[in-house]
Amino acid sequence: MWLKPEEVLLKNALKLWVTQKSSCYFILQRRRGHGEGGGRLTGRLVGALDAVLDSNARVAPFRILLQVPGSQVYSPIACGATLEEINQHWDWLEQNLLHTLSVFDNKEDIASFVKGKVKALIAEETSSKLAEQEEEPEKFREALVKFEARFNFPEAEKLVTYYSCCCWKGKVPRQGWLYLSINHLCFYSFFLGKELKLVVPWVDVQKLERTSNVFLTDTIRITTQNKERDFSMFLNLSEVFMIMEQLADVTLRRLLDNEVFDLDPDLQEPSQITKRDLEARAQKEFFRAFFRLPRKEKLHAVVECSLWTPFNRCHTPGRLFASDSYICFASKEDGCCNVVLPLREVVSIEKMEDTSLLPNPIIVSIRSRMAFQFIELKDRDSLVESLLARLKQVHATHPVHYDTSSNEDMTSPVFHSTNMCSDHKFGDLEIVSSQNREESEKEKSPLLNPEALFTLFQQSDSQSPESHVSREQIKITLWNDHFAEYGRTVCMFRTEKIRKLVAMGIPESLRGKLWMLFSDAVTDLASHPGYYGNLVEESMGKCCLVTEEIERDLHRSLPEHPAFQNETGIAALRRVLTAYAYRNPKIGYCQSMNILTSVLLLYAKEEEAFWLLVAVCERMLPDYFNHRVIGAQVDQSVFEELIKEHLPELAEHMTDLTALASVSLSWFLTLFLSIMPLESAVNVVDCFFYDGIKAIFQLGLAVLEANAEDLCNSKDDGQALMILSRFLDHIKNEESPGPSVGSYHAVFSDDQEPHPVTDIADLIRDSYEKFGDQSVEQIEHLRRKHRIRVLQGHEDTTKQNVLRVVIPEVSIVPEDLEELYDLFKREHMMSCYWEQPSPVLQRHDPSRPYAEQYRIDPQQFTSLFKLVSPWTCGVHTEILAQRTFRLLDDNMDHLIEFKAFAGCLDTMYNGEMNEKIKLLYRLHIPPALTENDQDSQSPLKNPLLSTSRPLVFGKSNGDTTDYQKQLKQMIKDLAKEKDKTEKELPKMSQREFIQFCKTLYSMFHEDPEENNLYQAIATVTTLLLQIGEVSQRSSSGSCSQDAGEDLRAAALCPEQDSVFVDNGTVPQDGQEFPEAGREGDWTVSLEHILASLLTEQSLVNFFEKPLEIKSKLENAKINQYSLKNSEISHQPHAELKLSNL
């Protein structure tokens, strides 16, 4: 294989390598100890060293070096495992390079040329690796077999890819294989006789980052709750990190973020995920974020090409992105030129004649007499064919309404090299609406505002209105000049020049229309004629919790602006917010949406404001406006990292940036509208609609940088927040044509000196100059990184809230209870990994109360019960677990929460004897014990309860008499206690009592006092059978004084020594047991059983001996995966240990 050239000194390797061939520029060498018959000592030592090393750490036995005559520095450019393989590389060099090198005069040019050629070969090999893997999957299949054998996962655990690497354990690297599957990161190493296995579920990963340590410059660090692990020495570390990042992101969203799960189809079929899918997903996420397109938009092709840009009269290199409904272009130089072409606007896509100056060109013509020329397109024919197919589909789905009232022919595609749009009026900006359609909509929805509110409620500024008007007119002139050169529709060329115009502030008369273009809400509006009017009609008049919240906030939305001091503005705001809540019930209504929508209504028509709100909530600020505002929290975390990077002194002073987050969160949620005067904040919104969230990040940094000195001198967080509030409240817009409208959240203090005024244009300009270097790709990477931290933070919050409720109610120490919670959650997760969810088992839903977010079904409960319950009964354990589940399932929904599970275990481990016996008693009466209980059949056939073992108690008459007196007194005392309880437990029938005895016998198995316990339980069982018979003969069925006399007589009767005598009182197989509680039935009560057990000290010792849960928990952590695997496959598996990461 070809190697990336790196310089080495040949003299350091003379003893390890032998030269086989050489030429003027290349040397072929063989490593000592390989291919030698006898060999000298040196060769034997080298061969032995290579032999004991792990196969991944071995050095290839053959290599080719690049040598420059007269230089002592050499560069390895190829290696091979066999002589045949290395000879192929040698022959290629002789045939393709050797004769070419003689034309170079400079030795450095020779080295540069060869290294460049080798790097190109490596690039070609890398790009074709995936295709080779799919065409010849033998290597991948071999890795899959090893993965399954080493980790024993079920078949549902799909392997995505694998890599050779080192895992660092302290200062010691362990060479091995890293396996990345859909739910786990696994590492395996076998080095010098020592085996190492690591298994890390993606849902346990709290941080994933590229870092460096003392030994290596670039490593991948995986951080979980308990440990950090470093992985390094990858062939392509960037690729590995991207795959890891995508897998962690997909898995955490799928399992922990229910609100996003339903919106992204890629998350719903994890078994179909491949390495290629993850690479495509990363590219698709960048595409949607860069152009701020809908989440459902599917990317089909990314092609290197060049676009003719008439404003600078040249072809600009970049990439063409083709999706379901768009053709987009992004220049290689960031910000140079971007284009968004909705297929709705495309008239034709045509191939031009291929020439040397215009290789593989195509022309994309749009309705507004513009055309875009792309050249240097690879595989042009298939690209054009697919584009035409999607174009036809889009036009069939959403027919285009041409504006026939215009004097110009909007359908004529003409390629203009200069001044393409000079003939157009800005009114043509509304690209698809026809007059007839507008008139019909007005008739259909007469209540909708036809104009932006600022035109209805014009505010005049008493201070020099002429100067403000002239400034506004200058801006309009600059924009019109720009439209003439760069285009005026959504398909305009977006360059650095337009960014500068936006930063100056968009003219008020153009603001709403340009917001529609920059956000591409204009395409949504055109694609859904009449949609908003229908929503308004369907949603208005309906009352629910969301509408109540909206009504409560209506009068808090820009109350200082006259547009919202009357019913016209309030009614429009109500309609837009209610219609959106009706459209998207998953978001509904979230506070801060009212502030944003009120500003949108000021500058856009009502229907346009609705589609702008859709664009902001669903595309530009994803996951911001939902139950947990995950998106806003992620961006807050990203903002904190940017502060540490760009303002390190401030970050060092404010060690805890969470206090700052309490203020900056509103910057992101309301785009500075709630904390800055309105006439200044709308300039921020201008930048946001053009540059997206990047504008908010950089403006936030600029605000902090402007106040850095005062913040560093602040004494506490309160003073720091006051500094920021006063600064933001005194940001003015000197060029605004309207009067100043202060922020209604501003903080005022009369005793402070006047604060200096900052102009918003200066602040925005500083933000672009000092902090505008963040690219969309960098921001998206930071978002993925911090989304992991935010989601895990929510998981920790859930855990702490559940534990806070459970800890006071149990005696289990908090540390053990926390580990028990982790086991409970992991049991739920493992079923999500590999099993089809049962109908009752819902996915993790963060919107539910904390205690209900994780619940387990009967199968999961049984698995966990086997691992942690102290009441192990052999094969009977599973039956006991099923009964326990039925007992805890109070609401009969076949799911139990952690609180119920922990309370039950607490009774088993830490309860008093009477509490444990009561629990056992309840496990053997309905609802825990059912008629269909699989262990309730043929009770007399169980060897532990057969009549072959006579059980006798009380050989001495004196002992027996004292025993009966003691028993009678205990029963009376327990009856008094029973009177104090709220609810009396039903009595136990003979069938239920038999099951109770079987459980006790099973629990005593393998106990050190097994023989004594068997004898004691035999005595107690015989006594209780006699008590039941006495109750059967008693007309009342209770243990009265007469019954006590009968009990004494029965106890002295020698025929009653056997435990179970087949005298007709016990039903045979297939015969139903009579129900307990009817007159004449055999019954015993809890008091009878408890009093009888208390007479035997060995039984008392068994139930009162201290039990340790910690060892059970440690064992469960190790064996939980193995048990689940064996349950799924029903086959024995080797032990799989979960890493303590």
Q: DSSP string spanning 904-916? A: HHHHHHH--HHHH
Closest CA to 833 of 196, 350, 153: 153
* List of residues 6+ apart from 434 with CB closer than 8 A: 401, 402, 403, 404, 405
Distances (CA, A) of 1045 to 124, 428, 1023, 1048: 98, 106, 14, 5
3-class DSSP state of 260: helix
Helix (H), strand (E) at residue 244: helix 237-256
DSSP 863-877: HHHHHH-S---TTHH
Total Cβ atoms within 10 A of residue 493: 24
Spatial separation of the C-alpha atoms in residues 757 and 679, rounded to whole Å: 14
Give the dihedral of Cα atoms 1032, 1033, 1037, 1042; nearest 10 deg: -140
Tell me the helices (H) and strands (E) count for the chain, helix number first: 40, 25
Give the C-alpha separation, 1046 to 396, whole Å: 93
Q: Is 623 left (phi over 0), alpha (psi -120 to 50) or beta?
A: left
- 295: which 2 tokens? 């989440």
pLDDT of residue 403: 45
- The pLDDT value given to residue 1098: 93
Integer CA distances (angstroms), 989 to 248, 478, 926, 983, 1066, in order: 54, 94, 11, 19, 11
pLDDT of residue 400: 65
Query: What angle is formed at CA 762 by the lines to CA 760 and CA 763, rounded to 5 degrees?
Result: 65
Tokens of 1014: 């068997």
Say if CB 557 and CB 564 are below 8 A apart.
yes
Q: What is the dihedral of CA 633, 634, 637, 639, to 10 degrees?
A: -100
Whole-number pLDDT of residue 686: 96
Contact 927, 914 (CB under 8 A): no
- 742 contacts: CB under 8 Å, gap ≥ 6: 560, 677, 678, 729
Q: For tokens 């655990």, what's the residue?
A: 157
C-alpha closest to that of 1014 among 1098, 1079, 921, 946: 1098
Per-residue pLDDT at 260: 60
Question: What's the pLDDT at 909?
Answer: 95
The pTM for the full model equals: 0.77
Q: What is the mean pLDDT of each run of 10 residues along the chain (1141 residues)?
A: 73 69 87 61 51 48 84 83 86 78 75 79 57 59 89 88 87 87 93 86 93 74 90 88 92 77 62 85 92 90 94 93 95 91 94 89 92 93 94 85 41 33 35 40 55 73 59 91 93 94 93 95 92 91 86 88 89 94 90 93 95 94 86 93 92 80 88 92 96 95 94 86 92 76 47 76 95 92 93 93 95 95 92 68 69 89 94 88 94 92 96 94 91 53 38 41 54 57 78 91 88 92 88 55 40 36 37 44 90 92 92 90 70 43 45
